[in-house]
Amino acid sequence: MPSDLTVFVDTNVLLYAADPRNPAKQVGARAWLQQCWQRACGRISSQVLHELYANLRRVAPKLAIADARGLVRKYRAWSPWLVDHETVDAAWDLQDRFLLTYWDALMVAAAQQQGCSLLLTEDLQHEQMIDDLRIVNPFLLGPEILDRPTP
């Protein structure tokens, strides 16, 4: 029985999918992204798109600028959450309560405001719960968890 989980994807997962320098992480990131596309459960924010574009040429220097822009346009299909004043205020609250960096708190706030169940990142503690949001390191746990029924 498939779950109804929604998955917020951090920039680093998108970057690993595009970067051939770490084949194991590229495979893991691509497996997660494939499932997010197939299940229409992937979520991101405008912050993630900005970070993706800014970092693509650095991590994949042979990637043409048009290809980098095309990749950003592709992920617009996930209707990125636009970071607004309410998102910033929520991020400040999370930053204080969970001792997160501002950028991580902003990502968590965007994930929560979209009702996400999971946040894929290697930048936060694996299996940490931030309110109802479960942090998952996509290189420690694969997308097969999407097939488990939600409790």
Does residue 124 surpass a pLDDT of 90? yes
Predicted confidence (pLDDT) at residue 2 exceeds the cutoff of 70:
no
Summarised one tens digit per residue, pLDDT across range 64-121 is 899 999 999 999 999 999 999 999 999 999 999 999 999 999 999 999 999 999 999 9
pLDDT digits (tens, 9 = 90+) for 42-63: 999 999 999 999 998 887 777 8
**What does the pLDDT average to over 2-18?**
88
Name the band, by pLDDT with cuts 50, 70 and 90, for residue 20: confident
Domains of the chain, each with CATH number or no CATH:
7-147 (3.40.50.1010)
Look at residue 1 in the predicted model and tell me its pLDDT. 30
Alpha-carbon span 47 to 35, nearest angstrom:
22
Question: Is the per-residue pLDDT at 3 higher than 70?
Answer: no
Tokens 């204080």 sit on residue: 96
Q: What is the predicted pLDDT for the residue at 60?
A: 72
Q: Confirm if 135 and 119 have CB atoms less than 8 A apart.
A: yes
> Which residue, among 50, 19, 25, 54, has the nearest Cα to 142 in the 3D structure?
25
pLDDT band at 131 (very low <50, low <70, confident <90, very high): very high
CA 39 to chain centre: 15
Helix (H, G, I), strand (E, B) or coil at 7: strand
Q: Is the pLDDT of residue 12 over 60?
A: yes
Total Cβ atoms within 10 A of residue 92: 14
- Name the band, by pLDDT with cuts 50, 70 and 90, for residue 150: low
Would you tell me the crossing angle of helices 65-75 and 11-18 to the nearest 10 degrees? 130
Q: Which residues contact 121 (CB under 8 A, 6 or more apart)?
A: 10, 12, 13, 104, 107, 135, 136, 137, 138
Enter the pTM of the model: 0.93
- Residue 38: helix, strand or coil by DSSP? helix
